[in-house]
Homo-oligomer: A and B are copies of this chain.
Amino acid sequence: MFSTNPFDDDKLREECGVFGVAGADDAAALAALGLHALQHRGQEAAGICSFDGTQFHTHRAMGHVAGNFDRDDVIRALPGSVAVGHVRYSTTGETALRNVQPLYADLASGGFSVAHNGNLSNAMRLRRDLVRAGSIFQSTSDTETIIHLVATSSYRTLLDKFIDALKQVEGAYSLICMTPEGLIACRDPLGIRPLVMGRLGDAVIFASESVALDVVGATYEREVDPGELVIVQGGEVRSIRPFAPQAARPCIFEWVYFSRPDSIADDRSIYSVRKAIGAQLAIEDPVDADLVIPVPDSGTPAAIGYAQQSGIPFELGIIRSHYVGRTFIQPRDEVRHLGVKLKHNANTALIKGKRVVLIDDSIVRGTTSLKIVQMMRDAGAAEVHMRIASPPTRHSCYYGVDTPERAKLLAAKHDTKGMRDYIKADSLAFISIDGLYKALGEEGRAKIRPKYCDACFTGDYPTTLTDQDDVAAVDQFAMLEERVS
């Protein structure tokens, strides 16, 4: 219930969701439904590209899937039995339509359309080299780099060109590509971002999360493996693994916040993992209180887990409005905390005089937590305790998640006591990194080759970060120059 993630300025944000289908009479309609179920992964823009056996058709729009892709005329203009779709949240200043995916290019081999979830960590360096050799980019997207690598590859077949391109990129990518021959779905060797595969009758479907299979009535089949290419062509499904095998490192934050609670990832129910996190939190950080209150909506499963483990009743102490408006004119100074009140309101009759435990999934900047704690106090809470269903978020993500610069992460500036002071709670506790791994069925975080990418908590990045290093080199060089002159 309630747990898909609407826009919140104080959350980490998944940047993209992808969907692909081959072999269905009404591929674009299925893609529209699938993208709707993935809407929480990207609310800024959406796009669908279909292939009708002869021509590619593309529609891309700023805004939600509903309102753009629920229209009969739009879907009818996307005929064909193969389609790829994409929802996007942009991290850069560029919100132009030309960055909205799926990207499309006319290659010598025919049309080529690609939808990408993730982020390449050497895209800037590759781009610079490509432009020097004569490639002209039409977007500022890292994804376009892949297309130019394919276009200029000296290999002969499209598949060889594509593998040649993948071997040059580093970082996170779950890709769904459409060609006149069919679909190619693939996932980077570490499997950082998710990608699942399902069936609907004869049709093969790929999607970022299993809920996109549910919404079209498809059956979940399996994950696309890290480093695997799945090729769907004329009803045949083939698998290729062109990379040397290595241990996977899927993003742990998908379980904490990004994925919908009704999704299955790595054969685990997101909802049950979140409840387990809440239960583990109640064991690690108990508190004597009257009410367990979720910060809606993302804190709810963990709050249920915390309540069941602790025996403290679960209650709706904060009511969330479904009608969000982000830019309301603030009428006057007395109306404090207005922004948060438009979205959340305290259930005053319930809270008055009570000791409450608030459960939230994470703290990013801390601004929302500060307002929520104050809202509880204004409503007459006797004590306000905050429990967080993830470890402190201390590092930026370079793999397709929108994180603020480090200087704005509350946990990068303060220890837990300092954070408690900032949000003005009576107590504050985070689940431990080992506790989080326990909730996922491990004994704790392995020292060597931990099972997940948890760089945002630990700073342990599983790939090289070429573009970051280049920037750092330039900065160092600049510093050097300054000293010299």
Q: Which residues of B contact A33 (CB under 8 A)?
A: 328, 331, 335, 338, 342
Quick check: is A427 within 8 A (CB to CB) of the other chain?
A: no
- Closest residue to A68 on the B side, CB-wise? B325
Given contacts A211-B345, A347-B262, A349-B272, contact A331 B24 (CB under 8 A): yes
Q: Which residues of B contact A30 (CB under 8 A)?
A: 331
Decide: B25 and A332 in contact? CB cutoff 8 A. yes
Cα(A152)–Cα(B130), bound, Å: 11
Decide: B331 and A2 in contact? CB cutoff 8 A. no
Decide: B321 and A322 in contact? CB cutoff 8 A. no
- Contacting A350 at CB < 8 Å: which of B71, B271, B325, B334? B271
Copies of the polypeptide in the assembly: 4
Convert A133-170 into 0s and 1s, putting 1 for each residue whose CB lies closer than 8 angstroms to a CB of B: 11111100000000110011100000000000000000
Binds B, one of A47-55, A105-113, A222-230: A105-113
Quick check: is A216 within 8 A (CB to CB) of the other chain?
A: yes
Quick check: is A269 within 8 A (CB to CB) of the other chain?
A: yes
Decide: B66 and A36 in contact? CB cutoff 8 A. no
Convert A103-134 into 0s and 1s, putting 1 for each residue whose CB lies closer than 8 angstroms to a CB of B: 00111100000000000000000000001111
Binds B, one of A175-183, A239-247, A311-319: A311-319
Q: Which residues of B contact A3 (CB under 8 A)?
A: 316, 319
Q: Which residues of B contact A313 (CB under 8 A)?
A: 308
Q: Which residues of B contact A297 (CB under 8 A)?
A: 1-2, 322
Decide: B32 and A319 in contact? CB cutoff 8 A. no
- Closest residue to A161 on the B side, CB-wise? B134
Decide: A261 and B200 in contact? CB cutoff 8 A. no
Q: What is the distance, in angstroms, from A305's C-beta to the closest C-beta of chain B?
A: 10
Decide: B151 and A147 in contact? CB cutoff 8 A. no
Q: Which of A317-364 contact B (CB under 8 A)?
A: 317-332, 334-336, 338, 341-342, 345-350
- Contacting A217 at CB < 8 Å: which of B271, B328, B334? B334
Decide: B136 and A36 in contact? CB cutoff 8 A. no
Decide: A151 and B138 in contact? CB cutoff 8 A. no
Q: Which residues of B contact A249 (CB under 8 A)?
A: none
Decide: B320 and A2 in contact? CB cutoff 8 A. yes
Decide: B131 and A152 in contact? CB cutoff 8 A. no
**A-B complex: 4 closest residue pairs judged by Cβ atoms:** A66-B325, A269-B349, A134-B152, A29-B331
- Closest residue to A319 on the B side, CB-wise? B262
- Closest residue to A210 on the B side, CB-wise? B348
Q: What is the distance, in angstroms, from A47's C-beta to the closest C-beta of chain B?
A: 15
Quick check: is A201 within 8 A (CB to CB) of the other chain?
A: yes
Quick check: is A236 within 8 A (CB to CB) of the other chain?
A: no
- Closest residue to A268 on the B side, CB-wise? B349
Q: Which residues of B contact A323 (CB under 8 A)?
A: 4, 6, 36, 39-40, 43, 64-66
Quick check: is A405 within 8 A (CB to CB) of the other chain?
A: no
- Closest residue to A275 on the B side, CB-wise? B315
6 new A-B pairs (CB below 8 Å) besides A6-B323, A301-B316?
A4-B323, A24-B332, A30-B331, A37-B321, A66-B323, A72-B329
Decide: A325 and B65 in contact? CB cutoff 8 A. yes
Convert A269-297 into 0s and 1s, putting 1 for each residue whose CB lies closer than 8 angstroms to a CB of B: 10110000000000000000000001011
Cα(A24)–Cα(B214), bound, Å: 51
Quick check: is A420 within 8 A (CB to CB) of the other chain?
A: no
Q: Which of A15-34 contact B (CB under 8 A)?
A: 24-26, 29-30, 32-33
Q: What is the distance, in angstroms, from A427's C-beta to the closest C-beta of chain B?
A: 22
Decide: A304 and B296 in contact? CB cutoff 8 A. no
Q: Which residues of B contact A72 (CB under 8 A)?
A: 329
Most buried by B among A107, A300, A328: A328
Cα(A105)–Cα(B136), bound, Å: 6
Q: Which residues of B contact A262 (CB under 8 A)?
A: 319, 345-348
Decide: B271 and A1 in contact? CB cutoff 8 A. no
Decide: B320 and A1 in contact? CB cutoff 8 A. yes
Decide: A4 and B322 in contact? CB cutoff 8 A. yes
Given contacts A106-B137, A200-B334, A322-B322, contact A316 B300 (CB under 8 A): yes
Q: Which residues of B contact A32 (CB under 8 A)?
A: 328-329
Q: Which residues of B contact A271 (CB under 8 A)?
A: 316, 319, 347, 349-350
